[in-house]
Amino acid sequence: MIDLVQERILVTGGAGFVGRQLCDMLRDRGCKNLFTPRSADYDLVDRAAVARMLAAFNPSIIIHLAAKVGGIGANRENPGLYFHDNLVMGVNLIEESRKTGLKKFVQVGTVCAYPKFTPVPFREDDLWNGFPEETNAPYGVAKKALLVMLQAYRAQYGYNGIYLLPVNLYGPWDNFDLKTSHVIPAMIRKFIEAGQEPQAQARGAVVELWGDGSPTREFLYVRDCAQGIIAATEQYEGAAPVNLGSGQEVSMKDLASKIRELTGAKADYTFNPNYPNGQPRRCLDTSRAEEAFGWRASTTLDDGLKQTIAWYQAQRAEQGRR
Ligand SMILES: NC(=O)c1ccc[n+]([C@@H]2O[C@H](COP(=O)([O-])OP(=O)(O)OC[C@H]3O[C@@H](n4cnc5c(N)ncnc54)[C@H](OP(=O)(O)O)[C@@H]3O)[C@@H](O)[C@H]2O)c1
């Protein structure tokens, strides 16, 4: 068990959606030597910048969250960038920190690494039994390659790198930009806007959603994810990847109807099958996380959605006042 308060912790992507929650929790625990460098100062795609960053902060632990991420649309528009940057950032950090005698490296991977047709619930041992769903394969494969790198470095250099696989996340500070957002913030925004626009109300607003509504997803509240990452950083020392999920599977149709109800929107909705569905089903087996470091998610989808909607509405009200 690592006492994080005693460590020098560097969190990449610390100002991002997951990073904010994680760093708040670490500060609340009393971690004083916490470093969250930004990309403007240290571009992790640049190997020399990574070396400079490690020399400047001399961390004993790195939690690597920085990534180029987005929903299906953003993945389809940036397959090359997502493959390159996600792979190279990890490669640079792992190789440079290997030379510094780092105590632990925590790589945050993604459910997008799983094969398109994985038996549900997804078990970590099935990770290599097929190719990921096409729209997010470049992102998923780049991240999955870092698992191999960590296992190889553990075998050859005794490098202590662990690898976590969070499912789709949601919560306060998520990205609500419709061009790049994931499905939950996109649905929340669309329903709230449809309910608020006077013209839309007058003509009976219809919210258009992507795909045919049949795919299922599992969603993990961002604070639960951050708690899982912290528990693993403290307690997990294995080479095998570990899923982080809520275990609750929901179809896009049911999610849309839930979000419409929780936002109080009067708008109707329709699914447009001309847009891609993405992976047909997603739901993780989370038993390894519970056995290895006693973590399980505690926030129900309803509670998490209520908190996310309340946060987004407060943000909109704040912006309206400015
Ligand atoms: N969101 C999800 O649903 C989800 C699900 C599963 C796994 N994950 C994983 O969780 C991690 C965090 O995701 P997130 O949603 O919090 O992402 P996010 O909000 O987009 O934050 C990512 C951060 O990465 C940093 N970054 C990007 N390119 C960089 C570069 N070249 N050099 C240095 N920093 C760079 C950015 O830092 P600056 O702000 O300083 O530019 C940004 O704040 C990622 O590894 C992602 O793959 C996310």
Res 17: pLDDT = 96
Q: Is the CB of 187 under 6 A from ligand 1?
A: no
CA gap 166, 164 in Å, rounded: 6
d(CA 22, CA 136): 25
Residue to mutate, 45, 68, 69, ligand 1, most ligand atoms under 8 Å from C-beta: 69
Please tell me the distance from the alpha carbon of residue 273 to that of residue 55, in angstroms, as a whole number: 51
- Ligand 1 centroid from CA 77, angstroms: 17
The secondary element (H helix, E strand) that includes residue 50 is: helix 47-57
Q: 145 near 197, Cβ under 8 Å? A: no
CA–centroid distance, residue 204 to ligand 1 (Å) = 37
Q: Note whether 225 and 13 are within 8 A (CB).
A: no
Report CA 231 to chain centroid distance, whole Å. Answer: 16
Residue 17 CB–ligand 1 contact under 6 Å: yes
Write out residues in the chain with pLDDT < 70, as ranges: 197-204
Backbone angles phi, psi at 35, to 5 degrees: -120, 130
Q: Using a 6 Å cutoff on CB, does residue 110 contact ligand 1?
A: yes
Question: What gap in Å lies between CA 90 and CA 141, rounded to an integer?
Answer: 13
Closest C-alpha residue for ligand 1 atom 18 = 16
Give the residue, by CA position, lying nearest to ligand 1 atom 41.
39
Q: Where are the domains of the chain?
A: 4-171+219-249+281-299
Q: How far apart are CA 9 and CA 83, in angstroms?
A: 27
**Substitution site in 18, 94, 141 for ligand 1 pocket (most atoms within 8 Å of beta carbon):** 18
Cβ atoms 16, 43 nearer than 8 A: no
Which residue's CA lies nearest to atom 2 of ligand 1? 169
- Exposure class string for 249-272: b at 16+ Cβ within 10 A, else e: bbebbebbeebbebbebebebebe
CB atoms within 10 A of CB 43: 16
Q: Is 281 in the pocket of ligand 1 (CB under 6 A)?
A: no
Nearest CA to ligand 1 atom 45: 65
HEC profile of 233-290: HHHCCCCCCEEECCCCEEEHHHHHHHHHHHHCCCCEEEEECCCCCCCCCCCECCHHHH
Q: Indicate the class that CATH gives domain 4-171+219-249+281-299.
A: alpha beta
**What pLDDT sits at residue 161?**
98
Query: Is the CB of 221 inside a 6 Å radius of any atom of ligand 1?
Result: no
* C-beta 260 within 6 A of ligand 1: no
User: 234: Cβ below 6 Å to ligand 1?
Assistant: no
Provide the whole-model pTM: 0.95
Cα–Cα distance between 11 and 139 in angstroms, integer?
20
Closest ligand 1 atom to 44 CA: 32
Is the CB of residue 16 below 6 angstroms from any atom belonging to ligand 1? yes
What is the reported pLDDT for 205?
A: 74
SS (H, E, C) 286-309: CHHHHHHHCCCCCCCHHHHHHHHH
- The residue type of 1 is M
Which atom of ligand 1 sits closest to the CA of residue 111?
6
Contact call for residues 140 and 39 (beta carbons, < 8 A): no
**Which residues are annotated as catalytic?**
139
